[in-house]
Amino acid sequence: MPEWLKDAVFYEIYPPSFRDENGDGIGDLNGITARLDYVRDLGCNALWLNPVFDSPFLDGGYDIRDYKKVAPRYGTEADLVRLFAEAHQRGIRVLLDLVPGHTSDTHAWFQASCRAEPNEYWGRYVWTDHPFAGIAGHPYISGMKERAGSYMLNFFASQPALNYGWLNRTEAWMSAVDAPEALATREAMKDVMRYWLDRGCDGFRVDMADSLVKNDDENKSATAAIWRDVRSMLDRDYPEAALVSEWSNPVQAINGGGFHMDFYLDHVGNGYNTLLRDYEAGGADRSYFRKDSGGDIRRFLDDYLPKYENTRSRGYISMFTCNHDTPRPARTLSADEMKLYFAFLMTMPGVPFVYYGDEIGMKYADVPTREGGYQRTGSRTPMQWDHSPNLGFSIARAEDLYLPVDTAPDAVTAADQEQDPESLLNTVRKWIAVRHGYADLQADASFAVLSAAGQEVFAYQRGKLVCVLNPSGTAKQLRAGQLKGKKLLSVTGKAELSEESVLLGPQSFALLG
């Protein structure tokens, strides 16, 4: 387990939308490098970059044409290597996005696999042996290629599934998980990982990590075995490299697959949604962090605690603000509500992730779809730096921008919020600094619930520290023996301590120690 994860706070960057350094309207690697001081000053010491590889961009770059080539629109391999070096100089690690489950249908491997004559890549993707037979229960395409078969999709129609084999094989054309062609796919993906690790990257966020072996069992044990094999390569050759999975089943991903971290996603299970996004279930918004929503923290804990207890000795659950697939928190939360969420995020166990722009409360924008984003596009608009043209994102003409910038007169910017000590940005900086300041707030330090009921004070212990949170609009008190002798270490809102009780003002959070 890489030691550095204990104190890691990640910042996710969607590359086309962060900073356009060459003025062509789309963000680039040199733009990210130029803004690394901002990331460092925020307190983030690790980055996750969405895919930066050659791609036709029918799915924001998750449709890879060449795993070992930087997309020309983002720059060159030399730019990426320089980004790694500049980040490392500032104490920032960099994770790239690994997409192991599928490629673009323009990838050379896939083109070869489509030929009528068998060749080295015939078994690289999931193909049936007959063009008139489908794949029960799975999406597939037939009749488009020379090869007499149908091929399976892993996501959009342009993303054919790579072949890691089938656990439960019901057809002759299904490869076994240890068939040579399935093993060759796995080795090809390890080769991609080594390629970038050898050039200075610090690990990977793994896309759809649970999707590799088809007809896997309910524990996804055959897929997990592949990741354990990858983990042993890392332990042996790259012990400082980190892996975070898009799996959202920490027991399977961490305990089974050996991932260091697994995301606590919004679209699998409902723990995250009960905190920030209860509106997705329909009806009244009962999100816990919405002031006076009547939300109940126990709905989150019921989901989170068993997962935490089951995995805490082996890895970390990663909570986040949102990501490039999900609505930004500002869609429904006010700045004050977000401040409390950040204080909570930075004091919970596991490794937290901040999505670019959430630290200033960027809006979920109403914009047309771009590159297969659909409703996700609203969370992918350009970073809002300052009040120079295009909010400091790019000097290109507005009509040439990757996505429109927020043109509202009150659009939030990092520069404005720098000036205001009470801004969301400065509050986020404060809580990230607090996290770095106490060993008891690190990813692996102990966590125990002290008090949890509805929107009353939620109190939890981290080592010897106590965190108390009142998201509601009315002052709330908590009395507990564990508060005795404690002092206020850091506060957002208002808190008063006396003997064995704390009085928290409306919408307040305090760290006691």
Report whether 158 contacts 174 (CB < 8 A).
no
The smaller minimum CB distance to ligand NOJ, of residues 57 and 460, is found at: 57
Binding piece for ligand NOJ, criterion CB under 6 A, among 17-25, 59-67, 329-337, 503-511:
59-67
The length of the chain is 513
User: Taking CB under 6 A as the rule, does residue 7 contact ligand NOJ?
Assistant: no
Residues 84-113 that bind ligand NOJ (CB under 6 A): 99
Q: Sheet harboring 476-479: ordered strands across?
A: 476-479, 501-504, 495-498
Residues 303-362 that bind ligand NOJ (CB under 6 A): 324-325
Q: Which residue is nearest to ligand NOJ (CB)?
A: 62
Catalytic site residue from 21, 28, 207, 278: 207
Catalytic site residue from 246, 296, 336, 444: 246
Q: Residue 275: helix, strand or coil by DSSP?
A: helix
Residues 130-189 that bind ligand NOJ (CB under 6 A): 155
Q: Residue 151: helix, strand or coil by DSSP?
A: strand
For tokens 């929503």, name the residue.
Answer: 293
Minimum CB–partner distance for residue 380 and ligand NOJ (Å): 10
Report whether 56 contacts 371 (CB < 8 A).
no
**Of the residues 12, 20, 28, 59, which one makes contact with ligand NOJ according to CB under 6 A:** 59
Report whether 396 contacts 6 (CB < 8 A).
no
Minimum CB–partner distance for residue 430 and ligand NOJ (Å): 30
Q: Which H or E run contains 82?
A: helix 77-89
∠ CA 206-61-359, rounded to 5°: 70
The smaller minimum CB distance to ligand NOJ, of residues 208 and 395, is found at: 208
Q: Is 54 designated active site? A: no
Minimum CB–partner distance for residue 155 and ligand NOJ (Å): 4
CA atoms of 511 and 379, how far apart (whole Å): 31
Positive or negative: CA dihedral 378, 380, 383, 388: negative
The smaller minimum CB distance to ligand NOJ, of residues 59 and 296, is found at: 59
Binding piece for ligand NOJ, criterion CB under 6 A, among 4-12, 54-62, 260-268, 468-476:
54-62
Minimum CB–partner distance for residue 206 and ligand NOJ (Å): 10
CA atoms of 443 and 260, how far apart (whole Å): 11
Helical H segments across 143-214, by residue range: 180-197
**Of the residues 20, 28, 207, 262, which one makes contact with ligand NOJ according to CB under 6 A:** 207
The smaller minimum CB distance to ligand NOJ, of residues 33 and 248, is found at: 248
User: Taking CB under 6 A as the rule, does residue 60 contact ligand NOJ?
Assistant: yes
Residues 241-270 that bind ligand NOJ (CB under 6 A): 246
**Of the residues 18, 62, 353, 364, which one makes contact with ligand NOJ according to CB under 6 A:** 62
The smaller minimum CB distance to ligand NOJ, of residues 312 and 324, is found at: 324
The smaller minimum CB distance to ligand NOJ, of residues 247 and 458, is found at: 247
Q: Is 246 designated active site? A: yes
Minimum CB–partner distance for residue 233 and ligand NOJ (Å): 23
CA atoms of 492 and 334, how far apart (whole Å): 15
Binding piece for ligand NOJ, criterion CB under 6 A, among 58-66, 76-84, 302-310, 424-432:
58-66
Minimum CB–partner distance for residue 371 and ligand NOJ (Å): 10
User: Taking CB under 6 A as the rule, does residue 208 contact ligand NOJ?
Assistant: yes
Report whether 501 contacts 475 (CB < 8 A).
no
Q: Residue 97: helix, strand or coil by DSSP?
A: strand
The smaller minimum CB distance to ligand NOJ, of residues 44 and 322, is found at: 322
The smaller minimum CB distance to ligand NOJ, of residues 267 and 479, is found at: 267
Instruction: Give 143's contacts (C-beta < 8 A, 6+ positions apart).
Output: 131
Query: How many whole angstroms from its chain centre is CA 513?
Result: 31
Residue count at the site for ligand NOJ (CB under 6 A)?
A: 10
Minimum CB–partner distance for residue 15 and ligand NOJ (Å): 13
DSSP string across 299-368: HHHHHHHHHHHHHTTT-EEE-BS--TTS--GGGT--HHHHHHHHHHHTTSSS--EEETTGGGT-------
Query: How many whole angstroms from its chain centre is CA 331?
Result: 18
Task: Return residues touching ligand NOJ (CB under 6 A).
Answer: 59-60, 62, 99, 155, 207-208, 246, 324-325
Residues with catalytic function: 207, 246
